Amino acid sequence: MPTYPRIASLKTFDDFQSRLRELELQLPADEVVESGPASPLAQSGQVGELTIGNRFCILPMEGWDGTKDGKPTDLTRRRWKNFGISGAKLMWGGEAVAVRHDGRANPNQLCLTENNLSEIGGLRELLIAAHAERFGNTDDLVVGLQLTHSGRFARPNEKAKAEPRAAQRNPALDPRLNINDDSGVMTDDELKSLIDDFVVASVRAAKLGYQFVDVKHCHGYLGHELLSGVDRRGEFGGSFENRTRFLREIVAGIRAEAPELELGVRLSIYDFLPYRKSESGVGEPDPAGDPRLVFGSNSRGDGVELSEPIRFLDLMQSLGMKLICTTAGSPYYTPHLQRPAFFPPSDGYQPPEAPLIGVDRQIEATAELKKRFPAMFVVGSGYTYLQDWLPNVAQAVIRNGWADSIGLGRMVLSYPDLPADVLEGTQLARKKVCRTFSDCTTAPRKGIISGCYPLDPFYKNLPERKELLALKKE
């Protein structure tokens, strides 16, 4: 099995650079990270009427810790409060919030029903209050909400029971979710009523004060799967026009009912054939995979091909959408593309490539899109694996105009105020740097709430930690 040097072992900037050279990666990195108001990462950005006070963004991350009826709990509130004290000025959606019950990815996912309005609005207020207490000004803080339907990966009622509402049949993924016939596929009429639900949820989000909504199109969930629905018949499948009808109709509905709301999309800008664990434990493409059903890949399903994603961004721009957050693949079947990690989640596979290659792939593909769409505000993802070198790469990416904002996922679970430390010039607290142990992904796969069990003292002391350790040993 291949082994890769740990990032923590790359002690100097030269060590990091020589590792990049060894892998023949062109990833930009600055030796000196600046701090203070004149530094590249401290510059503000503009999206329509919205001013975003710096170049750090918190990516959406759920904790599998809502109530059965889709309300937040104290654990959810703790996470949103941490997002508020991070120092980042853009909140990309907080976490995935289902627009209706059957679209929940797990029975503890938040759901934006009429009954839950004050609690879901309360998350935003809490985040803003925490930000105000630590940083004073919130005029340049922008908070959006990520709206989702989990489609093929819906599990609304029981953690162990998949209740898929897929966009189309898929020979590699159907057996993994017990889809044996077309009853697991959404009909056109169901999609039409779902479009109305997205519009209703967006109007609710606007009334609660969220400044934008993300019409989620990533990670294998419904919006994303529709984009590769070449075999789907009817109004939502086949041609590019049909495959993007879902987005167009949601946007038209929101424009009519909440014209002040900014709109964005979190998009898996590429994907590969679904992976599976080989006999050696290393990930390999599933031979049942069909490359025609992979959005943003080449004809073999094993490389990035951005022509359709570019058409998608063109469409977004023509609809007046200014915000895009790039990501890749899916945590279910291509986790090495989506969240490069040294230690895979328990149901995953050993990395089939050096994780730095996965980081570089996301950053380079994002840069290609930013070059083609300079007027859009582009947020990148997948930086956490850079660990101690994250600020060096982040600054260089912003300086070179490869993205407008650096999205942070796992890093803020272990080290919530990393952006503030970078901007204030405080030396990084190495003990808090995420080492990509993947417990925050493994825990929910085992039915346990998500959190940073290895590094966050709060989760370290929960009884769930022992439970997780025991389950990992099994």
Ligand X SMILES: Cc1cc2nc3c(=O)[nH]c(=O)nc-3n(C[C@H](O)[C@H](O)[C@H](O)COP(=O)(O)O)c2cc1C
Residues interacting with ligand SF4, by CB under 6 A?
A: 410, 413-414, 434-440, 452-455
Q: Is residue 1 classed as helix, strand or coil in its secondary structure?
A: coil
* 92 or 135: CB nearest ligand X: 92
Which one-letter DSSP state was computed for residue 282?
B
Q: DSSP letters of 71-102?
A: ---HHHHHHHHHHHHT--SEE--SSEEESSGG
- Residues 300-329 vs ligand X: string with x where CB under 6 A? ---------------------------x--
* 126 or 434: CB nearest ligand SF4: 434
Shortest Å, Cβ 264 to ligand SF4? 24
Shortest Å, Cβ 41 to ligand X? 15
* 85 or 185: CB nearest ligand X: 85
* 236 or 437: CB nearest ligand SF4: 437
Q: List the one residue out of 363, 440, 453, 470 whose CA is nearest residue 406.
A: 363
**Nearest-angstrom CA–CA distance, 134 and 75:** 20
Q: Is residue 207 classed as helix, strand or coil in its secondary structure?
A: helix
Q: Which does 439 bind (CB under 5 to 8 A by kind): ligand SF4, ligand X, none?
A: ligand SF4
Q: How many CB atoms lie within 10 A of CB 460?
A: 12
Shortest Å, Cβ 266 to ligand SF4? 19
Beta-strand pair 275-277/283-285:
antiparallel
* 244 or 338: CB nearest ligand X: 338
Q: Which does 167 bind (CB under 5 to 8 A by kind): ligand SF4, ligand X, none?
A: none
H or E stretch including 285? strand 283-285
Shortest Å, Cβ 409 to ligand X? 3
Q: Which of 116, 211, 441, 442 binds ligand X (CB under 6 A)?
A: 441
* 342 or 402: CB nearest ligand SF4: 342
Shortest Å, Cβ 394 to ligand X? 11
Tokens for 176, please give them: 């993994």
Shortest Å, Cβ 452 to ligand SF4? 3
Q: List the one residue out of 157, 242, 155, 255 whose CA is nearest residue 198.
A: 255
Q: Which does 435 bind (CB under 5 to 8 A by kind): ligand SF4, ligand X, none?
A: ligand SF4
Q: How many CB atoms lie within 10 A of CB 151?
A: 24
Q: Which of 71, 100, 176, 339 binds ligand X (CB under 6 A)?
A: 339
Q: Which does 382 bind (CB under 5 to 8 A by kind): ligand X, ligand SF4, none?
A: ligand X
Half-sphere exposure of 154 (CA within 13 A, CB side): 28
Q: Which does 409 bind (CB under 5 to 8 A by kind): ligand SF4, ligand X, none?
A: ligand X
Long-range contacts of 357-360 (CB under 8 A, 24+ apart): 357/23, 357/25, 358/382, 358/385, 359/27, 359/383, 359/385, 359/386, 360/23, 360/25, 360/26, 360/27
Which backbone phi and psi does 342 adopt, to 5 degrees? -75, -45
* 221 or 246: CB nearest ligand X: 221
Q: DSSP letters of 348-361?
A: S-B-SS-HHHHHHH
Shortest Å, Cβ 444 to ligand X? 7
Contact status: 450 vs ligand X (CB under 6 A): yes
Shortest Å, Cβ 88 to ligand SF4? 16
Q: Which does 438 bind (CB under 5 to 8 A by kind): ligand X, ligand SF4, none?
A: ligand SF4
CB 422 within 8 A of CB 410: no
CB 90 within 8 A of CB 122: no
- Residues 170-209 vs ligand X: string with x where CB under 6 A? ----------------------------------------
* Residue least distant from ligand X (Cβ): 409
Which backbone phi and psi does 58 adopt, to 5 degrees? -95, 125
Shortest Å, Cβ 434 to ligand SF4? 3
- Residues 398-417 vs ligand X: string with x where CB under 6 A? ----------xxxx------
Shortest Å, Cβ 252 to ligand SF4? 38
CB 329 within 8 A of CB 268: yes
Q: List the one residue out of 252, 410, 238 whose CA is nearest residue 320.
A: 252
- Residues 93-132 vs ligand X: string with x where CB under 6 A? --xx------------------------------------
Which backbone phi and psi does 277 adopt, to 5 degrees? -80, 125
Residue for token pair 């808090």: 432
Contact status: 146 vs ligand X (CB under 6 A): yes
Residues 381-400 that bind ligand X (CB under 6 A): 381-385
Q: How many residues lie near ligand X (CB under 6 A)?
A: 23
**Nearest-angstrom CA–CA distance, 459 and 448:** 12
Residues 246, 204, 210, 148: is their CA dihedral positive or negative?
A: negative
User: Can you give the binding site for ligand X, defined by CB under 6 A?
Assistant: 59-62, 95-96, 146, 218, 266, 327, 339, 381-385, 408-411, 440-441, 450
